[in-house]
A and B are shown apart, each in its own frame.
Chain A
Amino acid sequence: MLNNITIGQYFPANSVIHRADPRVKILLTVAVIVILFLASGFVALGICAAFCILLILLTKIPVKMYLKNLKAIWAVLLLTAALNVFYITGEGDPLFKWKFISIYTEGIERAVFIAVRIFLLIIISSALTYTTSPTELTDAIERLLSPLKLIGLGGAVHVFAMMMSIALRFIPTLIEETDKIMSAQKARGAEMDSGNLIKRIKAMLPIMIPLLFSSVRRAYDLAEAMECRCYNGGAGKTKMKQLHLSFRDFALVFGVIILLASVILLRIFPIVLF
């Protein structure tokens, strides 16, 4: 059951996007997220969707991996869509009226718009983590934050990046362990999938406590293993994989600039479909 969680995972493959510079990927992901919020109207959103679809095809990762995330957030999507459908009032007559509920065309449009936008946000951020290994990701963050070294925060930046990469590294290990502990507790007759909320939370305790204990054990072991491999907090550390900007990075930046330009143009000169 827990095996379905794919957020924050990395899928090795040999694609243009995998090989792109992680710094560029992070900055462009942030840029596309901003663009998604700038987009107004269905034409602009459609262009963003086309861009995202092209991008995920370029990653060579099966589309179903991206759709899996949809399963995880469908409740959020449904809730936001529903809120918009019921709360937005339009100018004309309502499409549907029953007691205090009235639904307008504008409400439906808005709901679809927001649902698509959230979905694209999820896709674009998954594309980043799917194609960038945690080490690359944190390495890039470390470098992007390197100006902070000038104000004496170099050590803090390194520690933050290291913590993130270890956290990401241990997500699958801890998920696997949680699964094991759950099976073990179920085998002892623990009921976890039934009862009211309080009962369920209580049922989580026999899982959380062993998990906490073993995590502390793991942290201790890992610290020793890191010491054995001469870790000393990042001073004088080199990197096997050097980061180089190449043609493909400029092509990606160019693509995002075009996207930004079209979204801004559409804000100034909107094309109304219906």
Chain B
Amino acid sequence: MDNIIELKKVVFDYTDENDLPVSVLDEISLSIERGSFTAVLGHNGSGKSTMAKLLNGLNKPSSGTVTVNGMDTADEKHEFEVRKTVGLVFQNPDNQIVASIVEEDVAFGPENLGVEPKEIRNRVDEALKSVGMYEYRTHAPFKLSGGQKQRIAIAGILAMQPECIVLDEPTAMLDPRGRSEVIETIQRLNREKGMTIVLITHYMDEAALADRVVVMDGGKVILDGTPMDVFGHVTELKSVGLDVPQPTELVTLLKADGVDIDTDVLDVDQCVEVLVKALHLEEK
């Protein structure tokens, strides 16, 4: 297995006002496989954002190591190479747009990297096309919708030609339409360009789209597996303040009540299917 990012026994603390260390992450070990789509779940304050910033070296671990393509993120000499390889997209689209024109904003990353002007132009056009915002390249970002702004933020990262994109609750401030625009874009990047995706979210339906779901609580990883595996742990998820997709919860409850039903369910269609099957079995 080829891992793009590896976290080994990563601890992260900060010092509070009395100079006492407060632990945010507690010996996390995790590896992200190249080309995979991982979702990270956890309620507020469970350390998700702290972890996201560790993945591209914005945060340095207090102990343990984070490596990106084998480079230690704590080593200053890899700083730009690491940030270029793992791009980070944040929650608030307004606070990550630097320039007043869409294309100038997307060019910001490659300009900082000292890429040739012609090559920047190509990268900007390509990045905007792959998030479906090419027609808006000369617009002012502040007039666009939240979903459009967030896609520009993604394009800004894409223009640096990263191998992995980490998105920290990118849909938390968006309306349902903006959410689906962003999620579709992320899925497309994963499927068509083989981009490695780490999506931090608190929406179960978004997590269900990933290949792998990691659940965090109190700075620890408490569950890790395919969406199907993880959502099977209804009681654990509830105990850390998370919900399960409703279809999954329904069939799990039925199963617990002794109904003979298949619980491998993530969405409404699958739920209907297993319910129909279960009803047929009852009749016989």
What is A's interface to B at a CB cutoff of 8 Å? 10, 12, 133-135, 165-166, 168-169, 172-173, 176, 217-218, 221-222, 224-232, 236-242
Given contacts A135-B101, A239-B117, A240-B107, whether A172 and B142 have CB atoms under 8 Å apart is yes
Q: Determine, out of B81-89, B187-195, B201-209, the stretch whose residues face the partner at the interface.
A: B81-89
A10-B140, A135-B99, A135-B101 given; 5 more Cβ-contact pairs under 8 Å: A135-B104, A230-B80, A230-B113, A237-B112, A241-B104
State which residues 51-103 of B face A: CB under 8 Å. 53, 56, 58, 80, 83-84, 87-88, 90, 92, 94-101, 103
As a 0/1 sequence over residues 212 to 244 of chain B, the CB contacts with chain A under 8 angstroms (1 = contact) are 000000000000000000000000000000000
A225 in contact with B98 (CB, 8 Å): yes
Count: A-B pairs, CB below 8 Å: 105
For chain B, which range describes its interface: under 10, 10 to 19, 20 to 34, or 35 or more residues? 35 or more
What is B's interface to A at a CB cutoff of 8 Å? 53, 56, 58, 80, 83-84, 87-88, 90, 92, 94-101, 103-104, 107-117, 120-121, 124, 138-140, 142, 153, 156-157, 160
Main secondary structure on B side of the interface with A: helix
- Of the candidates A134, A176, A225, A227, the one having the most CB atoms from chain B within 10 angstroms of its own CB is A225
List, sorted by A's number, 12 A–B pairs whose CB atoms are closer than 8 Å.
A133-B99, A133-B101, A133-B104, A168-B100, A169-B100, A228-B56, A229-B109, A229-B156, A229-B160, A230-B80, A237-B112, A238-B117
CB proximity of A46 to chain B, nearest CB, Å:
36
**Which partner residue on chain A sits nearest B141 by CB separation?**
A169
Given contacts A135-B104, A169-B99, A173-B94, whether A228 and B58 have CB atoms under 8 Å apart is yes
A218 in contact with B83 (CB, 8 Å): no
Interfacial chain B residues near A169, Cβ < 8 Å: 97-100
A240 in contact with B120 (CB, 8 Å): yes
**Which partner residue on chain A sits nearest B121 by CB separation?**
A240
**Which partner residue on chain B sits nearest A229 by CB separation?**
B109
Interfacial chain B residues near A240, Cβ < 8 Å: 103-104, 107, 110-111, 117, 120-121, 124
Nearest 5 CB-CB pairings of A with B:
A225-B96, A221-B95, A240-B107, A229-B109, A240-B120
Interfacial chain A residues near B120, Cβ < 8 Å: 238, 240
**Which partner residue on chain A sits nearest B83 by CB separation?**
A230
**Which partner residue on chain A sits nearest B124 by CB separation?**
A240
CB proximity of A22 to chain B, nearest CB, Å:
12
Residue from A134, A221, A227 in contact with B99 in the complex, judged by beta carbons closer than 8 Å: A134
Residue from A12, A228, A236, A238 in contact with B101 in the complex, judged by beta carbons closer than 8 Å: A12
Residue from A165, A222, A230 in contact with B100 in the complex, judged by beta carbons closer than 8 Å: A165
CB proximity of B167 to chain A, nearest CB, Å:
12
CB proximity of A122 to chain B, nearest CB, Å:
21
B98 in contact with A242 (CB, 8 Å): no
